[in-house]
A and B are shown apart, each in its own frame.
Chain A
């Protein structure tokens, strides 16, 4: 449940669901997000869920913080959004050329890279949020054995499709972008497709992702 609603500037409401990051709290955030979104409230210009916060931006010309706060406080949370949440299989190739940080991870985690991949692929991941760059999913939680810090010096360019690990999370670079996560593979799928204006993001908050290891051959086939 929301612990506190305060203003973030003069045109946003900041809903705090607590300090912890876990699936239960995040599901709650997503539930508020879905219910608010479905109501199409005039004047609300963006609703941004993250691990344990929800930020609601509005047009100060139409509505203000006091009114938005009232709406959130009186919001009836209907369940049943669960059926919007999908299980998505994402193929990943972990051939040498895609595993930019295999050596670093072996050193930091003191586990052979093959074993790292075994542990990684043997789990389903929950999508906490998408963003930073268009469609980038923040997934978790990865096994405690695989938790590593981000690179000391971020890469200027992480290739599109890269799968990265940091702390309890993994993500997928939807575009070539700067970034500091530990890269262990690459997907041939377009995780974000701007030409699909209705559903541009393949993975949305609340979805579950299962990664499937594929060979270079399979990768090339999907890619073309």
Chain B
């Protein structure tokens, strides 16, 4: 028998985790045929995972929610990094366990295991590797949308015992790390939306002054909230129209739903407010049971806050 070289490296998925997918920036200009943008839920943490490995910032990374995957690595050494507020360990071939630290680059060798145990009071985390995952693009993006079955891995989330192939180009890297703490947020900032005046004065007050709770019915498509019921006093039937990420719709039961990355492209519920772009990353990390308070800002403030958010991200990248 010939000795064959290790052609490709790969991960064996020993445990897939709750909702593990490949994500990048997502796909654009397809809403008009019913295809959502998708893409990483927490953009900053996704970008940092690629930045730490000096990769193109739009490279696909593994996104996990709550409990992540247990991966066994086969192949020549590579570098990996985990971002987010994540508890994980690396189990070496010799069984030695290393408590993992997010934003630290690790060297991984044949038979090492990466065990993503959980996210700490947050939802999403990311795994990026120094080499390239071998994946198919759909409409210019690797992002998996499990509802529409679109994207790499045939649009399915990663499952137990599957392999993730890696193209090994033997990238040279120095071990780097970044000091970054995911801060919690006191308010989610919003702009009044198209149908704000459909709601009673009392409900408008409730919206800005009372607390809402994130429910378990939250996923990549949307986040359902629960609180004092918001009463629509305009007897009007909304004709279905386009939706955008961050829009807060209120169906007839009076409980708000916030549209997230995989949201349907059109819908017909009244829109009370829109979360500002600068707060998306913080919003998506709120776990069921967390309390949300909304604070109104102006368009001008929202734009400034986004510039500041962008500047912060750029500064983090420059520190690497």
Contacts and interface: CB of A to CB of B under 8 A. Distances in A.
Interface stretch (B119-127, B170-178, B239-247): B239-247
Nearest to B150: A194
Interface in A173-195: 174-175, 192, 194
B166 to A, nearest CB: 25
A130 interface: yes
Contact of A60 (B33, B264, B303): B303
B266 A50 contact: yes
B289 interface: no
B281 to A, nearest CB: 14
Interface in B255-312: 264-267, 271, 274-277, 299, 302-303, 306, 310
B35 interface: yes
Assign chain A's interface to a size class: 35 or more
A133 B34 contact: yes
A194 B271 contact: no
Contacts of B56: none
Contacts of A52: 239, 241
Contact of A48 (B32, B138, B139): B32
B148 interface: yes
B247 A46 contact: no
Nearest to A9: B274
B218 interface: no
B33 A10 contact: no
Contacts of B266: 48, 50, 129, 131-132
Contacts, number: 132
A61 B314 CA distance: 12
Nearest to B298: A10
Given A45-B29, A194-B138, A197-B139, A60 B306 contact: yes
Nearest to A6: B194
B193 interface: yes
Given A8-B274, A10-B306, A12-B244, A132 B28 contact: no
Interface of B: 28-35, 37, 138-139, 148-150, 191, 193-194, 239-244, 246-247, 264-267, 271, 274-277, 299, 302-303, 306, 310
17 contacts: A8-B271, A10-B277, A45-B29, A46-B32, A49-B32, A50-B240, A51-B239, A51-B241, A55-B244, A60-B303, A129-B266, A131-B32, A131-B34, A132-B34, A132-B265, A135-B33, A205-B32
